[in-house]
Amino acid sequence: MRSAQGSARRCQKTRAASTRSRFAQAAGLNPVPAEPVASLPVEAVLHFDRPRPEDAPYWKAFERALEETGPNEMVRWSACTSMELKWAMGAAVDPQTPDRWGHRPAAYLTPDDPRAFDIIYEYPEETIEVLRRPWVESRRVGTHPVEYRAFVQDSVVLALSSYYPQRPLVRDTQVEREIAEVRAQTERLIRHLDACARLPWHPAYGKRYDPERVHCTLDFLVEPDGAVRFLEAGPPWSAGAHPCCFAGRSVWRAASDFDETHSD
């Protein structure tokens, strides 16, 4: 039987991007590092059109963080990427080149972004961070980057999916190799988190998930040379994670043998 102290230790949160990168490195992964460069109250973001005087310092820090983002870097909310960057990635537009309004998609965030606003509206924290990380080029098929999402529940890889459902991937030899590497890196990270007793957790999970096990989604990017890089972690299946290619389907049924990887 586990001690109460052990259980409490296992439930320590690992939400911070820098913490996730450190754990990924310790597990033998090669993550794309991300560091928080600004933090805002969620209420300030949701009510950006009715600014409060006490929020002015947060918005100044927010603007400074964007201005200081270099030509080989990008920024994102801790909850999601901007709609503008998502559009640029899907349209094969250079995200480091300013658009006609002078915005560089890789370095542009705005609170009235409808994609980000909807996600931040449901964000369970009182504050949200702006994260900066180096810009990493990715292998492309069609106009979209090659990225994968691993769905983890009860410390098991439940399923893998291509990140972009709007761009099917043919399951050829290269994709098979990438799938195998994503699975291997995910399993290494799970083993490390289980062993060091630091599990992704949030009180909003309540009684839906076993606090003694790993439950999350993990996103990976494939570089042009085929290297697979860990990008970020998110909530588990049915707790806020986008289903990617499982949209309209159940991960439980589709991946009952834990070897099914959807790429269409």
Tens of pLDDT along 186-224? 999 999 988 887 666 666 666 788 888 888 899 999 999
Residue pair 157/150 in contact (Cβ under 8 Å)? The answer is yes
Lowest mean pLDDT among 69-73, 107-111, 129-133, 240-244: 240-244
Lowest mean pLDDT among 3-17, 68-82, 150-164: 3-17
Confidence tier at 1 by pLDDT (50, 70, 90): very low
Spatial separation of the C-alpha atoms in residues 236 and 200, rounded to whole Å: 10
Report how far Cα 194 is from the mean position of its chain's Cα atoms. 20
In a 13 Å sphere around the CA of 145, the CA atoms on its Cβ side amount to: 26
The pLDDT value given to residue 244: 82
The pLDDT value given to residue 42: 96
| pTM confidence score | 0.84
Residue 113's contacts (CB-CB under 8 Å, 6 or more residues apart) are 82, 83, 84
Spatial separation of the C-alpha atoms in residues 145 and 136, rounded to whole Å: 11
Residue pair 147/166 in contact (Cβ under 8 Å)? The answer is no
- In the predicted model, what is the mean pLDDT of residues 22-29? 82
Q: Reply yes or no on whether the pLDDT at 139 is more than 60.
A: yes
Longest dimension (CA), the chain: 62
Confidence tier at 248 by pLDDT (50, 70, 90): low
Q: Reply yes or no on whether the pLDDT at 116 is more than 90.
A: yes
Confidence tier at 20 by pLDDT (50, 70, 90): confident
Confidence tier at 254 by pLDDT (50, 70, 90): very low
Lowest mean pLDDT among 60-74, 81-95, 138-152, 231-245: 231-245
Residue-wise pLDDT for 70-84, tens only, equals: 999 999 999 899 999
The pLDDT value given to residue 17: 61
All CATH 3.30.470 domain ranges of the chain, comma separated, are 4-28+139-262
Q: Reply yes or no on whether the pLDDT at 93 is more than 90.
A: no
The pLDDT value given to residue 133: 96
Question: Which CATH class for the 4-28+139-262 domain?
Answer: alpha beta
